[in-house]
Amino acid sequence: MRVLTHCLSFGKPRSLIGLWLGLSGLLAAIALLSLLYGAGDVGPARAWQALQDLGAAASYDSEAHFVIAELRAPRLWIGLVVGAALGIAGALLQAVTRNPLAEPGLLGVSAGAAFAVTLAILWGADTATLRVSVAQLGALGGCLCVLAAARLQGIGSDPIRLILAGAILSGLLHSLSSLILLYDQHTADEIRFWVVGSLAGRQLDDLVPLFPTLGVATLLTILLARPLAALALGEHVAIGLGHHPRVVRLLVIVVVALLVGGATAAAGPIAFVGLVVPFAARALAGPDIRRTLWLCLPLGPIVVVSADIVSRLVVPPSELPLGVLTALIGAPVLIGVVRGRRLPTL
Amino acid sequence: MTSPADTPNAVRQDKYYLALPLGQRSPLRVIVDKRNLLANLLLLGLLILLAGASLNIGSAASLSLPATLRALLGDGSPLDTFVIQELRLPRVIAGIVTGGAFALAGCLMQTVARNRLATPGIVGLDNGATAFAVASVVGTGISLAPPAMALTGAAVAAALTFGLTGRIGVRGYRFLVAGIGVGAVFGALTQLMLTRVSIDAANAAYPWTVGSLNARPDHAVLSLSLALPPALLAGIWLTRSLTVLRLSDAVAISLGIAAGRCRMAALSVAVILTGLAVAVAGPVGMVALIGPEFARQLSAKNTVPVVGATLAGAVVMVAADLLGRMLLAPIEIPVGIVTALIGSPLLLWILLNPNARTAP
């Protein structure tokens, strides 16, 4: 227990705890809304009644019960997991590249995962476990490509060029995926609803294969938080404090790949969450990575679940893909950051 | 005293430039760069060759050269005549005009932004035009013809991107990331519209989302063909000013060039061409990068290769379309995907090569 508090010690405990509790309360309220509102016939009042009857064996509204338990609850759970994973992955990637714009969707990590899954389905894979590991491997490939680019002379110091390279890499991988979909109709049918990024039609079973790798990622994140905070002070300081920058960077990349690959396997490529969430977290909690990570935990699900609610309510009875909404929220944030007088350095 | 033959003009005329008389007895001369002339002739030859190949080769039947010629002139067998005149010729023409338009727009915009990476596709114009064109096709209340809507979309996206840059200017990489953001918004809007409508309307709008020469609405091709020659003339007319503008605003203004007006004119031409070309073929934005790059390699280093870029864009487009039809023979790869597969590595190379210059 002492190790845990040591690893996760935050600078100003009281203010952070207050913020965290407030955001968690907000998240709980949004989660409740996500159960109450939907595109179908079951309105908020019926859903509320059904939720209250849940414990009692009294004659409950079976339709509302079905809608909540089988349709809305799985979406909520997947939204929570995906949001937290993407938010934390964004914060980690931004810390390790020291680039406030580094976002898994923009840097080609999600696109790598999506491309790997497309390839795997083309070659006949369709079990959920395989899909998760394949997506994580693809995400790792995307990560390594971008990091290799960042290592090139003159790029590492320029965050904007790194983002451009990532965006172009994403475009290239996207074209390759489209080419495969065009070539193979079977793959296209299987993947069409996955490739736009959405929480619709997911079951709780889709979530189960994620847990082992997400557990590993959580553990690694806890262990890496302090070294990352030291690394933010500069390479020499980190070495002086007894950390190994190369090992830390490599491990962070693995964690990002696990998180983004898992989230992509569950919900498809969703862009801009990894940009918006750490951005908001830093604005609330300051630049310390440990505090940022704590706040990303409730903020990521808040963004994803509320975007999911909006996607259900805007055009009933049909739904918007989640990726569309996150892009509409995230792109203005991107433009705002880029337009700033000076890029905030990490 | 120096004789007329010793003046700098005469010397340069010998080595690098050619003075073509405008008329039989006219004292006026048009000064042409020899290397550019050679490059343009080469590109024109390549274009004719590729267009011929594109007419010849196809999944229905690969005709022999004489048969193609006969069909083109209208006295081949009825089947051949139909295939050539109704299917392949309009496709080749659409490829030439869209490729030329995209590349000319790209060349102008790169010069205005003084940045090789600043093509209309990257700064969001393609996506804006696509969003508006899709809006008109799926009929969300606004039912202007697709070309007009695509034009409006390109203008809106350009206004947004250039308006939003403000303080950060257009020269650096930040401008491009802002453009990517604008493009992402319009891309999301396109997706939004496609999910809202019935599957038939979505299928009708599909070519606009990947970039293909399959749909090529006739009136869109016609309006683009009418707009391209004046735009090319305007580009040629702007060449001299743009060449000076590449140096710096101070130099340009001291040489008597209205820098702001010139930039605005070039940008307007680029917006019009991009909008109309998207209405024909969808967002094939990479041609706007590959075409001018190709032309710049061939042309003289100190000029803005306006004509060369147009020809090179047409060459790239026709070649990519031909490649897309041939590679996976019964299936056709949309030209947008082919050009993206060629263009993205080129773009990455320009971006990541530490020795590459970003100024065009």
CATH number for the domain including A145?
Answer: 1.10.3470.10
pLDDT at residue B3 greater than cutoff 70: no
User: Which residues on A lie below 8 Å from B341 (Cβ)?
Assistant: 172, 175-176, 179
Tell whether B334 is within 8 A of chain A (Cβ): yes
In tens, the pLDDT along B263-285 reads 889 889 999 999 889 888 888 88
Task: Assess contact for A294 and A10: CB atoms under 8 A.
Answer: yes
A169 touching chain B per CB within 8 A: yes
Residue A306 domain flag:
yes
Rounded CA-CA distance B339/A216 in Å is: 41
Burial class from Cβ neighbours inside 10 Å (0-12, 13-18, 19+) for residue A220 reads: middle
> Residue B11: pLDDT above 60?
no
- CA of A326 vs chain B CAs: smallest distance (Å): 9
Distances (CA, A) of A280 to A276, A295, A296, B88: 6, 9, 9, 54
pLDDT digits (tens, 9 = 90+) for B347-356: 888 777 766 6
B300 closest CA partner among B63, B89, B12: B12
Nearest CB to A165 within list B210, B334, B352? B352
Angle at B76 between CA B73 and CA B79, to 5 degrees: 115
B92-115: per-residue pLDDT in tens?
A: 999 999 999 999 999 998 888 888
Upper half-sphere CA count for residue A166 (Cβ side, 13 Å): 33
Provide the pLDDT for residue B10.
Answer: 45
pLDDT (0 to 100) of residue B359: 66
A-chain residues within 8 Å CB-CB of B347?
168
Inter-chain contact A165–B351, Cβ cutoff 8 Å?
A: yes
Domain membership of residue A328 (yes or no) is: yes
Question: Phi/psi of residue B256, each to 5°?
Answer: 90, 25
Contact residues on chain B for A311, CB-CB shorter than 8 A: none
- Give the total number of structural domains in chain A: 1
Bridge partners of residue B19, in order along the sequence: B31
Residue A236, chain B, CB below 8 Å: the answer is: no
> Do A161 and B164 lie within an 8 Å CB cutoff?
no
Contact B210 A315 (CB under 8 A): no
Separation CA B98–CA B182 (nearest Å): 23
Q: State the residue for tokens 């550019």.
A: B36
Say which CATH topology domain B34-352 has.
Answer: ABC transporter involved in vitamin B12 uptake, BtuC (1.10.3470)
DSSP letters along B131-167, please?
Answer: HHHHHHHHTSS----HHHHHHHHHHHHHHHHHHHHGG
Are the C-beta atoms of residues B110 and B323 closer than 8 Å to each other? no
> Distance between CA atoms of A26 and B252, rounded to whole angstroms?
57
Sequence-distant (6+) residues with CB within 8 A of B198 are none
Terminal Cα distance for chain A, rounded: 30
Q: Mind telling me how many Å the CA of B121 is from chain A's nearest CA?
A: 12
The two tokens of residue B313 are 């864009």
Is residue A312 within 8 A of residue A318, CB to CB? The reply is no
CB-CB under 8 Å, B334 with A335: no
Q: Does B188 touch chain A (CB under 8 A)?
A: yes
A167: nearest Cα among B101, B127, B281: B127
- A32 vs A48: CA distance, rounded Å: 9
Could you give the CA distance from residue B89 to residue B73 in angstroms, rounded to a whole number? 12
- Measured CA to CA in angstroms, residue B353 lies from A161, A165, B179, B318, B360 at distances of 11, 11, 22, 29, 15
Q: Angle at the Cα of A172 (from A171 to A178), degrees rounded to 5?
A: 85
Mean pLDDT for the stretch of residues B77-91: 78
Reading the block at residue A115, the tokens are 């491309």
Q: What is the DSSP letter of B82?
A: I
Name which of B185, B191, B345 is nearest A321 (Cβ-Cβ).
B191
- The helix/strand/coil state of B116 is coil
Residue A260: which domain range?
14-31+78-336
Do A315 and B184 lie within an 8 Å CB cutoff? no
A200 close contact with B: CB closer than 8 A: no
Cα B224 to Cα A331, B100, B272: the distances in Å are 31, 10, 9
- Please classify residue A274 by burial: count the beta carbons closer than 10 Å to its beta carbon, then call 0-12 exposed, 13-18 middle and 19+ buried: buried
B133 close to B153: Cβ distance less than 8 angstroms: yes
- Would an 8 Å CB–CB cutoff place B253 in contact with chain A? no
Question: What would the pLDDT profile of B307-356 be if each residue is shown by its tens digit?
Answer: 889 999 999 999 998 888 888 777 778 888 888 888 888 888 877 776 66
Nearest CA in chain A to B123: A164
Q: Which of A115, A174, A175, A276 to mutate to test the interface with B (most CBs of B within 10 A)?
A: A175
Tokens of A23: 């955001």
> How many whole angstroms separate alpha carbon B163 and alpha carbon B64?
54
Interface with chain A: mutation pick from B164, B194, B214, B344, highest number of A CBs within 10 Å: B344
* Contacts A271 to B, Cβ<8 Å: 184
DSSP B272-321: HHHHHHHHHH---TTHHHHHHHHHHHHS-TTS--HHHHHHHHHHHHHHHH
* Domain membership flag for residue A55: no
Query: For B140-193, how does the pLDDT look when each residue is reduced to its tens digit (9 = 90+)?
Result: 555 567 788 888 888 888 888 888 776 666 667 778 888 888 888 888 888 777
> Does residue A207 belong to any structural domain of this protein?
yes
HEC string of chain A? Answer: CHHHHHHCCCCCHHHHHHHHHHHHHHHHHHHHHHHHCCCCCCCHHHHHHHHHHCCCCCCCCHHHHHHHHHHHHHHHHHHHHHHHHHHHHHHHHHHHHCCCCCCCCCCCHHHHHHHHHHHHHHCCCCCHHHHHHHHHHHHHHHHHHHHHHHHCCCCCCCHHHHHHHHHHHHHHHHHHHHHHHHHCHHHHHHHCCCCCCCCCCCCHHHCHHHHHHHHHHHHHHHHHHHHHHHHCCCHHHHHHCCCCHHHHHHHHHHHHHHHHHHHHHHHCCCCCHHHHHHHHHHHHHCCCHHHHHHHHHHHHHHHHHHHHHHHHHCCCCCCCCHHHHHHHHHHHHHHHHHHCCCCCCC
Contact B351 A169 (CB under 8 A): no
Pairwise CB contact (< 8 Å): A175 & B165: no
Is the confidence at residue B233, as pLDDT, over 80? Answer: yes
Subunit contact B164:A323, Cβ cutoff 8 A: no
Residue A126, domain member (yes or no): yes
Residue B223 contacts A where some CB pair is shorter than 8 Å: no
Residue B17, beta-bridge partner list: B33
Does residue A100 sit at the B interface (CB-CB below 8 Å)? Answer: no
CA-nearest residue to A325 within chain B is B188
Of the candidates B118, B102, B98, the one whose C-alpha atom is nearest the C-alpha of residue B110 is: B118
| Contact by Cβ (8 Å): B249, B311 | no
Q: How high is the pLDDT of residue A329?
A: 84
**Whether the predicted model's global pTM rises above the 0.90 cut:** no
Q: Is residue A61 part of a domain?
A: no
- Whole-angstrom distance, CA of residue A343 vs CA of residue A337: 7
- ipTM reported for the complex, 2 dp: 0.77
Residue B118 is given by DSSP the state -
CB B336 within 8 A of CB B282: yes
Quick check: is A139 in a domain? yes
Mean pLDDT of B233-249: 84
Q: Residues B42-68: pLDDT tens digits?
A: 989 999 888 888 887 776 666 677 777
Six token digits for residue A242: 């007894």
The answer to whether B344 contacts chain A (CB < 8 Å) is: yes
Q: Is B130 helix (H, G, I), strand (E, B) or coil?
A: helix
Query: Under an 8 A CB cutoff, do B340 and A175 touch?
Result: yes
Q: Residue B124 carries which side chain, given as an amino acid letter? A: G
* Alpha-carbon span B345 to B248, nearest angstrom: 30
CB contacts of B192 in chain A (<8 Å) are 320, 324
Closest CA to A180 of A225, A123, A254, A229: A123
DSSP string, B5-71: GGSHHHHHHHHTEEEEESSSS---EEEEEHHHHHHHHHHHHHHHHHHHHHHH--SS----HHHHHHH
Chain B closest CA to A175's CA: distance in Å? 6
Residues of chain A with pLDDT under 70: 1-14, 39-42, 53-61, 125-130, 150, 152-158, 185-198, 201, 315-318, 341-346
